Amino acid sequence: MTEAQTIAQTIDRVARALQAANALLVTAESCTGGWIAKACTDRAGSSAWFERAYVTYSNAAKRECLGVPADVLARHGAVSGPVAEAMAAGALRHSRAKLSLAVTGIAGPDGGSAEKPVGTVWFAWADSNLVASEVVHFSGDRDAVRRQTVVHALSGLLQRFALPLV
């Protein structure tokens, strides 16, 4: 199965689960530049379960659109668990959605460091009771990192919340 097919299959599962739970999704994206939102809205009928998206590529956008505290960005850097969690929580606060997912990472080919190499992506998922985050280190070129990020973010949503898998 190609990654495009995997993304489409994952979106179908997410769509069915969110509709069964009568829940809306909001996304907050940095390194994917809106790719998760695009994948969601590529599916006909997505307005029944997809509420909105934030593409907050810059630190200023993370602060202004999602309320990520400047001190959290300064202390941890944009590619970090605390920032991903603040993005996910901020997306919920600024939407009508019940669930959110956020991604921030280094897709490459440049921008990595010894501490945060290219392929480092932080994920966060949130609802009114939970904010969970994790870091994954993907390999491949910029496109591969971003594709893997889309699949992992959506799969993580299904794994972390008691969504009916219909």
Query: What pLDDT score was predicted for residue 1?
Result: 82
Measured between its terminal Cα atoms, the distance across the chain in Å is 21
pLDDT exceeds 70 at position 164: no
Q: Letter for the amino acid at 104?
A: T
| 3 pLDDT tier (thresholds 50, 70, 90) | confident
pLDDT in tens, 24-63: 999 999 999 999 999 999 999 999 999 999 999 999 999 9
If you average pLDDT over residues 141-155, what whole number do you get?
Answer: 96
- Multiple choice CATH, 3-160, 3.90.950.20, 3.40.50.300, 3.40.50.620, 2.60.40.1180: 3.90.950.20
Q: How far, in Å, CA of 10 to CA of 4, rounded?
A: 10
Contact 112, 122 (CB under 8 A): no
The pTM score is: 0.96
